[in-house]
Amino acid sequence: MIKFLLKGILRDKTRSLLPIVVVSIGVMLTIALSAYMKGAFGDMIDQNARFDTGHVKVMTRAYLENKNQMPNDLALLGVDSLAQSLRQDFPDYQWVQRIRFGGLIDVPDENGESKGQGPASGMAIDLLNESSGEAKRLNIETSLVSGALPTQSGEAIIGHDFAEKLGLKVGDEITYFGSTMNGSMTFQNFKISGTIRFGAAVMDRGAVVVDITDAQQMLDMQDGAGEILGFSKLNVYDDEQAGRMAEKFNAKYAGDSDEFAPVMLPLKQQNNLGEWLDYADMMSGIFVFIFILAMSIVLWNTGLLGGLRRYQEFGIRLALGEPKGRIYRNLILEAVLIGAIGSVVGTILGMAISYYVQVVGIDISGFLKNSTMLMPSVLRAKVTPELFYIGFIPGVLAMVFGNMLSGIGIYKRETARLFKELEV
Amino acid sequence: MTSETIISIENVFKRYPVGDGEFTALKDINLQFKRSEFAGLVGPSGSGKTTLLNIIGSLDSPTEGRAMVLGKNISELSHRESAWLRNKHIGFIFQVYNLLPVYTVFENVEFALLLQNIPADERKKAVMKALEWVGLADMAGKKPDKLSGGEGQRVAIARAMVKKPEIVIADEPSANLDAANTHAILKTMKKLNEELGTTFLFSTHDEKVMGYLERIVHLRDGYVEQDEIISPKSMTT
Ligand SMILES: Nc1ncnc2c1ncn2[C@@H]1O[C@H](COP(=O)(O)OP(=O)(O)O)[C@@H](O)[C@H]1O
Ligand SMILES: [Mg+2]
């Protein structure tokens, strides 16, 4: 019987083509959008983790409160021993110290006169010690546009666009002006070892990257750091695990009312990322729901039209002794077959598009010129195994649902009345 | 040998609701048909022929009275049971040949057997045999739109006959056929009637068809005007 139905579907193009096209398009869009959302939000989370939040981050309570002002006067002190104890308590994570700092970059000419200036947003990381993994984590090597990584104290990498604006190239000297942890003025000369483009608008605006030891000296914060970041050695963010760690760590300081006591935050509780993730899940859910609904309505209508066209056929089948319940069931079976064909086509197309967007990406840097959110400049889709069913199942369901609705007329009517209507 | 009665219509009325009132399409019909009769309902358009045939074919049921077909009371059958009766025991031939356009001649004839879950090789044998009966074995692979009107109606006969039903109901089978084709299909049906003992029940107002009938039941305005035995075969053999 399935063979009989399949023959009908394949030969009667007017019966099958439109539904197959509708299902294919719906499934394709569902998959492409899901992959795109997954990819975009996944990249966003990943980039936030690497550049800003870590999988968990330790700061002082006061620093946390004023985080956006890069308040190094509220930084952690005694970080080496704190980091040591973190390594002991949580050996599955790698712990690194970072300092963020603001200030001014000045470019001196031969006579020491200023020939250009710009506001800088600095990041100090453990650059010179390769075991920290920081250079790799921030993709510094692959993001270099010119020059190389600093190999010694006193060298800095600066954002490529920033360098161009100030007319700087590798080997030039720059002077940093800023204030120390205690609020007094400080300046320090750096030699540019390389220029870089991170591919994140927020980072690329006025970026200066120096080694953390240099920064500690320059900002007068020996054994201090704004943040200690923890990264899972498995390199994936596990929200539950991060939450448990934070709970355990924070419990130690629960009775401490000191505003400089350290506090640990998992990624999801920083930068509203948790809300973003929930939002992404919700949006995906809404997309899928809307597609099923829209597809069902379209398919219901094509089912009705197809049903009208096939009244004569149903009449013949009724007269030949096919019970109308079975006609109805075969109609649904046909819908399953058509839905499956459309879903296969749609899944293949959707996967192809997703894969293309995963490999090539969509450049959104234009939209991010003034963005303060840490987002990748090139959005990429992510092809995951769930894409195989995320479109397929709704595709088949929509087709079946649409045809169930349109077929109900046949099922409900009296055989005699139906046959009269079907008669030509 | 006396043939058994396989269709018995007893005091049957059929009323249709029309507007506020009712329209009575069949009025107190009493008829018996025996196995292997070759009989026809004859009467002008609107006299109730199709209504009566649909009741005998278990597509409809009487408003009043009893219609017994092959020992079953049509009024008491469930959907499933009446479908089963049609599938196993009753073949239909319509005014327009009503073949499924996307299927080949072979597949159209095969369909009834598909519903009975008959194995493929048996189906094939039966279908080819039925096509031989109507002289269309070489058309098995053709689509209905490639057939002439006469050929199409012969396929419809093969489709009705393939399951070797006890009763074939043919509602104005010659309405769309020319004289030559009308004679051809009636000869075919007469032959099957004689060889297989199938009961044929026609409705018609075609003189050519009437020439083949052994019994003519004249209907007028929903009642039996005259029940005319033309050749005695249907009564005794
Ligand atoms: N569903 C129905 N509702 C109302 N009247 C009907 C219905 N079906 C048939 N009739 C009427 O019953 C009468 C007999 O119809 P029918 O059996 O089709 O006649 P015939 O086949 O002899 O031309 C006609 O007058 C027709 O209008
Ligand atoms: Mg009629």
Residue B63 clears pLDDT 90, i.e. is over it = yes
Q: Does residue A144 lie in a domain region?
A: yes
Across the range B186-191, mean pLDDT stands at 94
Ligand 1: nearest atom to the Cα of B48: 17
- The answer, yes or no, to whether residue B3 has pLDDT greater than 80, is no
| Predicted ipTM beyond 0.85 | yes
pLDDT higher than threshold 60 for residue B187: yes
Do A1 and A329 form a contact (C-beta atoms < 8 A)? no
Is A9 part of a structural domain of the chain?
Answer: yes
Q: How far away, in angstroms, is A307 Cα from ligand 1 center?
A: 25
| Count of pairs with CB atoms under 8 A, one residue in A, one in B | 71
- Determine the Cα–Cα distance for residues A302 and A308; give it in Å rounded to an integer: 10
Provide Rg for chain B, Cα atoms: 18
- Domain membership of residue A40 (yes or no) is yes
Atom of ligand 1 nearest to the CA of B222: 14
CA of B104 to the centre of ligand 2 (A): 28
| A150 in a structural domain | yes
Domain match, A157 and A226 both: yes
Specify if A266 maps to a domain. Answer: no
Residue after which a domain boundary falls, among A236, A261, A290 = A236
Same domain (yes/no): A193, A279:
no
The closest residue, in CA terms, to atom 18 on ligand 1 is B50
Give the end of a domain, one of A236, A267, A292: A236
Tally of domains within chain A:
2
Which of A3, A320, A322, A421 would you mutate first to test chain B, the one with the most B CBs within 10 A?
A320
Judge if the beta carbon of residue B19 lies within 6 A of ligand 1: no
Query: What's the mean pLDDT in B74-79?
Result: 93
Neighbour count for residue A115 (Cβ, 10 Å):
12
Same domain, residue pair A414 and A322: yes
Tell me the chain B residues in contact with residue A326 when contact means C-beta distances shorter than 8 Å: 83
Q: Are A3 and A372 in contact (CB under 8 A)?
A: no
* Ligand 1 touching residue B16 (CB < 6 A): yes
Q: Is the CB of B44 under 6 A from ligand 1?
A: no
Q: Which residues of A touch B159 (CB under 8 A)?
A: 320
A408 CA to chain B: closest CA distance, Å? 16
Do A192 and A285 lie in one domain? The reply is: no
Residue at which a domain ends, from A179, A206, A236:
A236
Residues A27 and A61 in one domain: no
Residue among B57, B167, B123 nearest A318 (CA):
B57
Whether the per-residue pLDDT at B189 is higher than 90: the answer is: yes
- When pLDDT is cut at 50, 70 and 90, the band that residue B118 belongs to is very high
For the Cβ of B64 lying below 6 angstroms from any atom of ligand 1, the answer is no
A7 touches B: beta carbon within 8 Å: yes
Half-sphere exposure of A299 (CA within 13 A, CB side): 36
Q: Range of A285's domain? A: 2-48+275-423
Do A307 and A175 lie in a common domain? no
Q: Is the pLDDT of residue B235 over 60?
A: no
Of A4, A7, A316, the CB nearest to B98: A316
pTM above 0.90, yes or no: no
Task: Tell me, yes or no, whether A38 and A60 share the same domain.
Answer: no
From A12, which residue of chain B is nearest by alpha-carbon distance?
Answer: B102
Q: What is the mean pLDDT of chain B?
A: 92
Mean pLDDT check: name the lowest of A228-237, B8-17, B53-62, B102-111: A228-237
Is residue A3 less than 8 Å (CB to CB) from chain B? Answer: no
Do A36 and A80 fall into the same domain? no
- For residue A322, being part of any structural domain is answered with yes
Three-state secondary structure of chain B: CCCCEEEEEEEEEEEEEECCEEEEEEEEEEEEEECCCEEEEECCCCCCHHHHHHHHCCCCCCCEEEEEECCEEHHHCCHHHHHHHHHHHEEEECCCCCCCCCCCHHHHHHHHHHHCCCCHHHHHHHHHHHHHHCCCHHHCCCCHHHCCHHHHHHHHHHHHHCCCCCEEEEECCCCCCCHHHHHHHHHHHHHHHHHHCCEEEEEECCHHHHCCCCEEEEEECCEEEEEEECCHHHCCC
Where chain A has pLDDT below 50, the residues are 424
> What pLDDT, in 10s, does the model give residues A106-152?
988 878 788 888 888 899 999 998 888 898 888 888 888 999 999 99
Question: Which atom of ligand 1 is found nearest the CA of B45?
Answer: 23
Q: Is residue A260 part of a domain?
A: no
Q: Which ligand is nearest to the CA of B45?
A: 1
Nearest CA in chain A to B163: A320
Mean pLDDT along residues B202-213: 95
Q: Classify residue A366 by burial, with Cβ atoms within 10 Å: 0-12, 13-18, 19+.
A: exposed
Alpha-carbon gap: A322 to the closest alpha carbon of chain B (Å): 6
Same domain, A176 and A212: yes
Nearest CB to B102; choose among A12, A322, A424? A12
Ligand 1 pocket, mutate which of B29, B45, B51, B95 (most atoms under 8 A from CB):
B51
- Find the ligand nearest to B44 CA: 1
- B236: distance to nearest CA of chain A, Å? 31
For residue A304, tell me if it sits in a domain: yes
- Identify whether residues A44 and A69 lie together within a single domain: no
Does pLDDT of B110 surpass 80? yes
Q: Whose atoms come closest to the Cα of B42: which ligand? A: 1
What pLDDT, on a 0 to 100 scale, did the predictor assign at position A375?
Answer: 65
| Together in a domain, A196 and A220 | yes
Give the pLDDT confidence score for residue B215 in this predicted structure: 97
Instruction: Indicate if ligand 1 lies below 6 Å from the C-beta of B91.
Output: no
A315 touches chain B (CB under 8 A): yes
Q: What is the model's pLDDT at position B95?
A: 83
The pLDDT assigned to B237 comes to 41
* CB of residue B108 inside a 6 A radius of ligand 1: no
Return the residue of A nearest to B87 by Cα: A321
Give the number of the atom of ligand 1 that is nearest the alpha carbon of residue B49. Answer: 22
Per-residue pLDDT at A373: 61
Do residues A289 and A157 share a domain?
Answer: no
